[in-house]
Amino acid sequence: MPTIRLGPCADVPEGSGRTFVAGGRHIAVFCAEGNFYAIDDKCSHADASLGAGEFDPDTLCVACPRHGASFDVRSGAVRSLPAFKPVASYRVVVDEAILFVECPD
């Protein structure tokens, strides 16, 4: 599976999220307890940036800033309406403090 370089781990502080544009994709990355999680940045309900949403590091969920749909950052699964379709999730690899994601072709 191809690996896409996103940027330094320091760009995603503990308890926060950020959107990266790499390889023609918008990917939201979140950090909780030193672990990084990546999902598609676009909400499946309202085309809003999940990287700009409110991230709860305790539940590992992010709320869409437009209508509040919630997604699990580990899997992309929907946790609350109005969204009903999940978003893609990606495996994050950290190499020498640089974030990479594995994305299908």
CB 100 within 8 A of CB 38: no
Average pLDDT of the chain, as a whole number: 96
Q: How do the domains of the chain map onto residue ranges? A: 3-102
CATH class of 3-102: mainly beta
Cα 36 to Cα 8, 13, 33, 81, 85, distances in angstroms: 12, 10, 9, 25, 22
pTM of the predicted structure, to 2 decimals: 0.95
pLDDT digits (tens, 9 = 90+) for 37-74: 999 999 999 889 999 999 999 999 999 999 999 999 99
